[in-house]
Structure 1
Amino acid sequence: MRLRFMGKLALVFSACLPFVAGTAYAEGAVLSTKSGNAASSAVVLSTESVRKNFAERFPGVDITDVKPTPFPGLFEVQIGMDLLYTDAKVDYILQGALVDAKNRKDLTAERLEKLAQVSFSDLPLELAVKQVKGNGARKMAIFEDPNCGYCKRLHETMKDIDNTTIYSFLFPILSPDSEVKARNVWCAKDQAATWRAWMLDGTTPPQATCETPVETVLALGKKLRVQGTPAIIFADGSRVNGALPLDALQKKLDSLN
């Protein structure tokens, strides 16, 4: 169970899970594979009512969105980038994958993929360090911390990738030193060369001072719910969290042509 986004729900879940496993589900009181008159005659509450009920049950938990699901009487509650499911009265909470058994689809995975998408054209690319390789036809943006080991691994992988424009958003979240390095890279005469030298060769960026967009980028990352580095956004709006291996990265970029 991912509790880092659910702090105020953690105690509730831990208290409720034994009851759910031992009583409600065992007796079939909550979910059933059969449909009946009770389901068809259930009162359908609006998503706003669900939002209100949820807020009353869990005060202080920020609800991003509430949507109905294909399952009658079951609602999706989005908290950050996590999804929960609840009944109309918020008497029960479920966390896990909602699967369309008939069509063999993981509806939760599909929703999470959609939530992760970003409009590439809306990204403020002028706030990123730009590197152009070959003809630069394929585009990708990466949120990176200067001291992120996985980001450096990704740069090693990208050495073998051609015809790509890479926009690196300096996203210093790991340490105060990350902020210093981000500033020195941004204020360098040749941002791309300085960034590349640090990420690939370990050459410390020379001391430099100027106005930087770091705070704006941090706010952007928060808005896009970037929770770690590297976070890769491709031109089609899809997102990958983490360093992709060469074959997977090449396949993804090739699919964008």
Structure 2
Amino acid sequence: MQVFSLATFRRVAALALLSVGLAIGAAQAQSTAPLSAAGQAAVDDVISKAADDAADAAIAANVHERFVSRFPGAPVTDVRATPYGLYEVNLGGDLVYTDEAVRFVLDGTLIDAETRRDVTRARKEELSRIAFDDLPLALALKQVKGKGERRIAIFEDPNCGYCKQFRRTLEEVDNLTVHTFLLPILSPDSHVKVRDVWCSKSREKTWDDWMLRGKVPPAATCDDVGGEVVALAQKLMVRGTPAIFFDDGSRANGALSLDAFKTRLDAAAQAAPKADARK
């Protein structure tokens, strides 16, 4: 990738946008009703914004190039300007920040001092959103509580203590459908338990017996889905358990408290498509 100066890029952008202006002028010449002052101002605003956006994109491309040159092999997937005078560099889901010259790099959490908003966490949540209906739910256990109108999907390891803690929290929530992806990542025994649960006659009951009551799943053999779930988790950048996906595509990492879970659940239910619209 060639690195252009901002001045050079503005000249290139201006030439590209000139054709847009000529096309608009030609259209006006053929029209019996020329653009009003307000209409012309709107066209000028569009052209100006396009030029600014193109210039910003060029700067981000330059930052991308400089960052990779300083950190060879860095998995940079995107670079974008922030309202804080820094550039956000996406490293496959991990975020760092740098200046335009890439002289300094901030590897940590960016906090908005006025609002106390965790900018980094909010951005990561935005980037990690999914389309819930695109999840391969056939690979998951399914448990319906009450009407089951609200939905979540969870990635859990059978040897995850926080997952067991969250399972007890779920016991306090009604009107919920829970899709559980059995993710064997913590120990070799995890895969054994996932296989035994998946191959049991009553998967959901066997899972709850283990997670809530400590009853070891009976040994069983079949073609389990552990490998497919591991691949899915990697695709979704799930790096620990429990990982909770809500109906609106947002996610939470770790065992939420009951109040925090209910708050997220209600917010997701408001934002997610209604059941009738999903059919």
> Rg larger in 1 or in 2?
2
Q: Tell me the secondary structure at the aligned position of residue 46 of structure 1.
A: helix
Change (3 A) 1:175 1:55: same
Q: Tell me the secondary structure at the aligned position of residue 75 of structure 2.
A: coil
Provide, for residues 39-67 of structure 1, a one-character-per-residue CA deviation record: whole Å limited to 9, x for no partner.
xxxx9643333222211111122123211
Hey, what does 2:31 align to over in structure 1? none
The CA deviation at 1:104 is 6.6
Hey, what does 2:140 align to over in structure 1? 128
Hey, what does 2:174 align to over in structure 1? 162
Which letter does structure 2 place at the counterpart of 1:60? Answer: G
State the alpha-carbon separation in 2 of the partners of residues 102 and 242 from structure 1. 28
Map 1:1-257 onto structure 2 (within 5 A). 45-72=58-85, 74-98=86-110, 106-255=118-267, 256=269
TM-score under structure 1 normalisation?
0.76
Which letter does structure 2 place at the counterpart of 1:213? Answer: V
Provide, for residues 211-235 of structure 1, a one-character-per-residue CA deviation record: whole Å limited to 9, x for no partner.
1221121111111111110011110
State the alpha-carbon separation in 1 of the partners of residues 116 and 243 from structure 2. 29
Provide, for residues 193-251 of structure 1, a one-character-per-residue CA deviation record: whole Å limited to 9, x for no partner.
11111111111111111112211211111111111100111101111111112222223
**What is the aligned-residue RMSD (CA, Å)?**
2.1
State the alpha-carbon separation in 1 of the partners of residues 117 and 202 from structure 2. 48
Q: Tell me the secondary structure at the aligned position of residue 65 of structure 2.
A: helix
State the alpha-carbon separation in 2 of the partners of residues 252 and 48 from structure 1. 36
State the alpha-carbon separation in 2 of the partners of residues 98 and 231 from structure 1. 23
Provide, for residues 127-163 of structure 1, a one-character-per-residue CA deviation record: whole Å limited to 9, x for no partner.
1011111111111010000010110111111112111
Change (3 A) 1:106 1:229: closer
Provide, for residues 75-126 of structure 1, a one-character-per-residue CA deviation record: whole Å limited to 9, x for no partner.
2101233211112332221234445567775533331221232221111111
Q: Is there any run of 5+ residues in structure 2 with no aligned partner, and where?
A: 1-54, 271-279
State the alpha-carbon separation in 2 of the partners of residues 47 and 145 from structure 1. 40
Which letter does structure 1 place at the counterpart of 2:136? Answer: P
Change (3 A) 1:110 1:244: closer
Change (3 A) 1:89 1:254: closer
Q: Is there any run of 5+ residues in structure 1 with no aligned partner, and where?
A: 1-42
Higher helix share: 2
Q: Tell me the secondary structure at the aligned position of residue 184 of structure 2.
A: coil
Which letter does structure 2 place at the counterpart of 1:232? Answer: I
Change (3 A) 1:247 1:101: closer
